[in-house]
Every structure is written in C-alpha cells, then in structure tokens.
Amino acid sequence: MKKICFVIPRAYYLFNTDIQDAKDKIGGAQKQGFLLSTNLAKDNNFDVHFLVADFSQPEFEEIKNVKLHKSFKFNDNILNRTIKLIKSLKKINADIYIFRSADIGVAFAVFYIKMFLHKKILYMLAADAETTKKRQKHHNGFLTAFAMQTVYKKADFITAQTQQQADIFERDRNRKPDAKIKNIYNIGNNEKNISDEKNTILWIGRLAKIKNPKLFIKLAERYPNEKFIMIAPIVRDHIEYGNTIQEKAKQIKNLELIDFVNPNDIFNYYQKAKTYVLTSDLEGFSNTMAEAMIAECPILSYNVNPDNILNDYKCGFCADKNIDEFYADFEKLNTDFELRKQFGKNGLKYIRENHQKEQIIKKFISLLNTI
C-alpha cells in the first residue's frame, strides 16, 4: 500500500465547511486536491493523508477516508510555521508528497523532503503563471519565482492541466511535464431544465489582480439594464486591492456583490446565470469556468481559453484580450437565447467527455503507480 500525502494547507475548509475564517482560502488548487484525495482514498491500494493548516480543529481527523493532519496557523510567524511544517512532514512520513501551488513555503517543503526525508515529490502545475519565469516573476513576485525553480528541478514528477500549459512550460523551463492530468469534477446528471430561469451575468473569483475583476465592473456599468452578480472574497495577500474593488462594486446599482458563498450552495448561482464571465489574464484550467459549464452556462472569456476548447467545442467566446471583441461577444450572447442554450449544452458535453472523475482518477492512479 502506497502512502500518499497532499500538502495543500488551505484545503481544510472543503473537508469541514463549518469552520470560520476560510472564505479567502479556497481556490482551484484546493478544490482539485480535495477531489483527487477523496476519490483516491476509495482505492484500498492507497493510504491517503492530507496536511492542512490549523483552523482550531483536532490534531488528527479522518474524513471521507482521508487522514487529515493539522499543522501551522497562517498567522504564525515564519519560524513557528517552519518548525510545525517540518514536524508534520516528518511525522506523516509518506512515500509520495503532492503539492499544487507556487509559493516560498512549497519550495522550502520540497527542499526539506528531498534533502532530509528522501521521499518522492509530485508537483501539479496550478496555473499558467508558472509556465515561464517572466510570467511567474510578474504575478508571484521575484522571491517566489526564484524559490520555485528548486521545485521544478527537484520534483520527481510534474503534471500539467492542459497541453497548452505543458508545451509552454517545456519550452521555457526546459523540462517536459511527465503527464497531463485534467481537472476532476463531480458532474452528476444535471437533468433539470433550467434554461428559462437563467437571467444573471455571473463572475466568481478571489479579488486578486490576475483575476482582472475591474473588467467585470466595467461590463456592469456598460449594461445597466442587466443584472450582474459578483461573488468575490478578499484574499489575505491582496487586502488593499480587494477593498478597493469591493468599494467600487458597491457603487454599481445593477451589480450585486457577495463576499462569500458556501461551496455547497455555489451551484445555485451557476444555474441562474445566463452568461459566466471570466476576466482573468491567466488561469490554469479554470475551475469556475468548468463549474459554469456543468450548469450549462455559456462562457465569455477575456483571455483564458485552455487548449482552445471554447472555440473547438463551441461552448463560449474568447476575446484574446481585445476589449472591443469582448463587448461584442457579450452582446452576441446576451441577445441570442438559442446561442446561449447551445453553448451551454456543448459545454456540459465537453466536461462529461473529458473531466469525469472515473477517467481522471484512473489516469492519476496509473501515474502514482509509476512513481
């Protein structure tokens, strides 16, 4: 039996949605770590562990067959965080440690595991910002970009979310990802006909500059007769920016700002949206985009179009950072019910054919068995 440990500290809220102070902790890396670990734990050939941050929960819990280990608090000083992290990694003593986000803490943990524990590392690329040194320096800062070079060199295996991501990473980093593991989603039957109930324009994301939320606010200002909804928590690393965006959003009469929605309730908003707007400059394979597609919601993207799926599968528009095209595409979707309906059905079909949990977990298990 292989002992696997996911090291994604912010993911605890997905295991226990009753905790407080977690609204800025959940992103794509956390959701994918949760889904991969809980589905992997159904296989008796794997002993699945998860290192999470301290949210005042018990030291050890087992939820959905995943063994959860409490480590540091986010407000601990750097010395305490480091000591607690080292103790947790050593205590778990996994065969394979899995990481899925770019930061200095991840780089340190990978260095410690390789130098002192002599265990295997699987690093899963989380965002396209990681694909080049220039992008990472711009979006994550010089220190993170410098530290993460150790991860990309020392990791035993690296996975990409898309072929596009893999190709750019290989070209710039001079290392080919070992596998492409597409994102995993719980799809369900989705048989309820909700097309006639869709009447909102939806945006969901953490308030960080890379998400480009200002563009969604401008869109709401430009179309005052439409109802816009923005689910946008402020994140710890961008508090001043987040406060500025929220204050601006509150001034727009046709824009409803929602600070946070429980993950168990978020699908209700996708179901009521007639268009999902993705304004990010960069993503990996956007989880919110996929969730919107599951709800048969067409996609309007400013720049993100992983592996060109919006065009190839006819499930949305991508403006390729052309602002005039972005507004024109919005009007096409907004005035054509049948187009929105067809794009929505195409999007759900794409997710069903490419991101079903059974096929993703099968490939993931095959990869783990080679490490």
From first to last of its 371 residues, what are the pLDDT tens digits of the chain?
A: 999 999 999 999 999 988 866 555 578 899 999 999 999 999 999 999 999 999 999 999 999 999 999 999 999 999 999 999 999 999 999 999 999 999 999 999 999 999 999 999 999 999 999 999 999 999 999 999 999 999 999 999 999 999 999 999 999 999 999 999 999 998 876 555 454 679 999 999 999 999 999 999 999 999 999 999 999 998 887 899 999 999 999 999 999 999 989 888 999 999 999 999 999 999 999 999 999 999 999 999 999 999 999 999 999 999 999 999 999 999 999 999 999 999 999 999 999 999 999 999 999 999 999 99
Per-residue confidence (pLDDT) for residue 315, from 0 to 100: 98
Distance CA 23, CA 235 (A): 8
Per-residue confidence (pLDDT) for residue 22, from 0 to 100: 58
Give the containing element (helix H, strand E) for 92: helix 78-92
Side chain identity at 140, as an amino acid letter?
Answer: N
Token couple for 321: 């950072």
Per-residue confidence (pLDDT) for residue 26, from 0 to 100: 76
Count of Cβ atoms closer than 10 Å to residue 243 Cβ: 12
How far separated are the first and last CA of the chain, in Å rounded?
13
Per-residue confidence (pLDDT) for residue 237, from 0 to 100: 78
Q: What does pTM read for this prediction?
A: 0.93
3-state secondary structure 139-176: HHCHHHHHHHHHHHHHCCEEEECCHHHHHHHHHHHCCC
Q: Is 48 helix (H, G, I), strand (E, B) or coil?
A: strand
Q: Do the Cβ atoms of 129 and 96 come closer than 8 Å?
A: no
Q: Do the Cβ atoms of 86 and 51 come closer than 8 Å?
A: no
Per-residue confidence (pLDDT) for residue 317, from 0 to 100: 98
Nearest to residue 245, comparing CAs of 302, 205, 278?
Answer: 205
Token couple for 14: 């997905």
Domains in the chain (CATH in brackets) are 2-184+356-368 (3.40.50.2000), 195-354 (3.40.50.2000)
